[in-house]
Copies of this chain bind each other. A is one copy, B any other.
């Protein structure tokens, strides 16, 4: 199914949490702000099944009826991500046991998603709740669970299930398992399935990575199970989505280790995400962009921003203009919905200071007024900016297994897989080169001119050969250090490194060292690096020996100065760039810009802080978003297009646009 040409703009709404009943006042304020969708129901289990087997959906009905009457769409969530006290009391085993510790009841997302007891009770509340509402005309879709992770589930039952999984994977052959995972090391061989120890104590990277993969699979399977359950009730014009969250460093940051987004996406109608990001002087838009790129790639169509910040915490309160800018930034990445978390700030409990659109006083405030302004614009613009088609010539190839591998075998005390991924991503973002983001299992190599591969630490022989083949046939790949090093089960290759991709990269290495210890810097060779000022290297340098590759940069330490740091290679009809170190943003920017230009990737002349993203709308017209991520006004020249949609003004004959601080323009070029 596909959503109609109406940008969904709204908020999570928790009638259940209100300190006093103000449903009608809230709806009036929503209508005034052109809010047209609310998400309700997730985390309300204790309200709707207030005791084991005792149900009361009257509040749910009331909200649904009132929203329907107000013509506000509703997304109903299954309430399972926060379990009621009575369930934890009756069956303590539903609380997740993480690394030998059973979590206490209280926080959400602390249940064992693999527990049969949890599943039994979850199924009943889902069937009761969705069955109760499924004929209501106000519902446009369902959300299953919320931000589901594996929560570290590793109880004895989970260990048993994992052992069975391994037994199956290895056809019961322990010798093979011992050999593949190198269990003879430190006398860890397992020579009877009965001897299998808990993985919680394991120091074997392969075993640990396989267990994390198994845990991620539990998430995929659990969400598929919810999808199938809800599918029994949903109508054809309703969608099922899930709210995926990303790697977290105080805000959305990179690949999420505890769930496999790419597999989960396969079993959804629409991909839903939440995006939280730095604000004010720290706002760049990069988080909305990478999250949106991944969400869009997931099903190769529009996606839903299920949650993003309104006021949020005090470090996230936006400057005037930023909330509106962010909304457009999501849409420019392909979002068909922008939904804030949440309507009103909560008066008790954990997220009291994670503020919503309204403060605790429920009064209009600057953020509310900006929502209203944005809502009004979106209502007008919906026909032009809905269900956008977006084309990328470049894809990022990210890898949960490599992330796990890098966690098992870190390259840094301070940095991780996502830092490498983001270091590359952010330069593409600043260069206004549109990217898709996907994984080894889902990528369609031939769709892209360029594949960007941050630290593909763990990958199968077969896949690496496919990547070589892709290059040979005319594709282009950027690899970073540590790519190709280990097989998909983290066993290090016994070949010359970087393993199979050596062939396409025309380079190999025997040793790697820590550059910071000796203050070893980058020594530029290639002309595009000649004016670089920040030559600092971090964490890891590979002492590259070019076979056929051209050297872009070497190392400054006289002991390593004969080795290459960054190389490019022609292979068949295509080319590769191999970055054997972790250079500065300045260096990355220059070599990426030079490389994408060389292989003729399309990009506009503007760079960050002007973000430019284009798309094709339902009418087939080209829509170009111009987003000013800065506190100074900016001039954009050589605009091609017919009309600026927000103002409705025709593009001047000077083909120029002025953008105020944190402002946005949308230019339509009629096809």
Contact = CB atoms under 8 A, between A and B. Distances in A.
A186 B512 contact: no
A531 interface: no
A374 to B, nearest CB: 18
B19 A494 contact: yes
A361 B496 CA distance: 5
B103 A201 contact: yes
Contacts of A493: 347, 360-361
A217 B279 CA distance: 43
A280 B379 CA distance: 65
A85 B359 contact: no
A647 B643 CA distance: 84
Copy count, this protein chain = 3
B559 A320 contact: yes
Interface residues of A, number: 98
Interface string A219-257: 000000000000000000000000000000000000000
A617 interface: no
Given A185-B17, A361-B495, A106 B201 contact: yes
Nearest to A180: B348
A187 interface: yes
Contacts of A205: 348-350, 352
Contacts of A363: 496, 510
A497 interface: yes
A315 B201 CA distance: 27
Contacts of A20: 494
Contacts of A313: 514
A108 B44 CA distance: 45
A382 interface: no
A57 interface: no
A311 interface: yes
Interface stretch (A31-39, A46-54, A64-72, A269-277): A46-54
A424 to B, nearest CB: 22
Contacts of A46: 183-184, 187-189, 191
A645 interface: no
A189 B50 contact: yes
Contact of A497 (B190, B361, B512): B361
A353 B512 CA distance: 10
Given A47-B184, A314-B540, A315-B513, A105 B491 contact: no
26 contacts: A17-B185, A44-B187, A82-B188, A84-B189, A85-B189, A85-B190, A85-B196, A89-B195, A106-B188, A106-B202, A106-B203, A108-B186, A182-B349, A183-B348, A183-B349, A185-B348, A185-B351, A205-B349, A279-B517, A280-B517, A281-B517, A282-B517, A348-B491, A359-B510, A360-B497, A366-B510
